[in-house]
Chains A and B, each alone.
Chain A
Amino acid sequence: MLLITCPWCGQRDELEFSYGGEAHLVRPEPTDHATAKEWAEYLFMRTNPKGFHKERWQHTGGCRAWFNAIRDTRTNRLIDVYVVGAPPPEITE
């Protein structure tokens, strides 16, 4: 069982959480002047790193709040979590 730490509720079973994709994607602004290439970058292109990945999660089976997490894609370990709007913590190997 993978344990994920919700910033509000504490450690819970991974079954209570939903994955929400890569974090810190910036919507092209102003939207009515964005080019097709900018939209394609925003909607489809992802970094897909081998290593630390900043991603969004929702505690769907609990407080239903969204938060950000840093996961090591090599080991599937969640390294750290932080609330939406906060700067990501510095992670070193």
Chain B
Amino acid sequence: MKSVSTSWPLPVRRGPLDNMGVESGPESRPAEVSLAIGERRMLGKLMLHGDPCADGFMEAAARCLGSSLPIEPNTISLCRVRVLWFGPKQWLLVTQPDDQHSVATSLRSALSAESFALVDVSDQMTVVTIAGNAVHDVMARLCSLDLGAQAMSPPRCARTVVARLPVTVDMRDKQPCFDLYVESTVAPHLWHSLQHVGRRWHPVVFRPPASIG
């Protein structure tokens, strides 16, 4: 009797931009390059909803995360996770890859007495990173919001429309480098738009580290 093999190949984790060559590029942006585009792969993302006017909610969240949730619009706090202000009652918590489960568990435990909602959106959105001296020129062509250093000095974030897509822009540091949080299903459109608009700067694909700092 013929035996049937029951060993299945292990599932492979794939990102929404794997077809764009994001895995084959260099790990860091070459210094002479004006525009580099990459994907910060597999970061954990949690959407937290709660009332900032409820003292218990803010205190419990700060105790669990190690830092207060940002209340001022378009600001960021960096602690155990990277917290982006997403709305008057909404925050995006960005964690190291695969750390979202432990963060969610501890947050649910810390906020058990409060009214809140916590949703794992790690696979719903991905992070496209653009870096280099041409970043501001490229963004100015795709986004009506002034993201220049004079208008918004890093670290800041802004939810806006880029290439007609709802995107959250995270200005990570003074060296021009933006993280663009976009829904995974439309990430290829953003990717192609960045490549098209930035073609005069000969963009290269790179692999930015999956870090939150």
Q: Is the CB of A9 within 8 A of B144?
A: no
Q: Is the CB of B161 within 8 A of A8?
A: no
Q: Is the CB of A63 within 8 A of B86?
A: yes
Within 8 A of B (CB), among A16-57: 16
The reply to whether the CB of A1 lies closer than 8 angstroms to some CB of chain B is: yes
What is the predominant secondary structure among interface residues of chain A facing chain B? Answer: loop
Q: What is the bound-complex CA distance between A13 and B145, given in angstroms?
A: 7
What is the predominant secondary structure among interface residues of chain B facing chain A? Answer: strand
B50 smallest CB distance to A (angstroms): 15
Q: What is the bound-complex CA distance between A61 and B145, given in angstroms?
A: 12
Q: Is the CB of B161 within 8 A of A63?
A: no
Q: With A8-B73, A61-B161, A63-B73 in contact, do A1 and B87 touch (Cβ < 8 Å)?
A: no
Within 8 A of B (CB), among A64-78: 64-65
Residues from chain A with a CB closer than 8 A to the CB of B160 are: 12, 16, 61-62
The reply to whether the CB of A79 lies closer than 8 angstroms to some CB of chain B is: no
Q: With A1-B144, A9-B74, A13-B144 in contact, do A61 and B159 touch (Cβ < 8 Å)?
A: yes
Q: With A63-B73, A63-B86, A64-B87 in contact, do A9 and B166 touch (Cβ < 8 Å)?
A: no
Within 8 A of A (CB), among B118-162: 144-145, 158-161
Which residue of chain B has the shortest Cβ distance to A9 in the bound complex? B73
A83 smallest CB distance to B (angstroms): 9
B130 smallest CB distance to A (angstroms): 19
Residues from chain A with a CB closer than 8 A to the CB of B73 are: 8-10, 63
Within 8 A of A (CB), among B82-99: 86-88, 90
Q: What is the bound-complex CA distance between A62 and B87, given in angstroms?
A: 8
Residues from chain A with a CB closer than 8 A to the CB of B144 are: 1, 12-13, 15
Set A10, A16, A61, A63: member contacting B88, Cβ < 8 A = A63
Q: Is the CB of B166 within 8 A of A61?
A: yes
Q: What is the bound-complex CA distance between A10 and B146, given in angstroms?
A: 12
Q: Using CB atoms and an 8 Å cutoff, list the residues of chain B in contact with chain A.
A: 73-74, 86-88, 90, 144-145, 158-161, 166
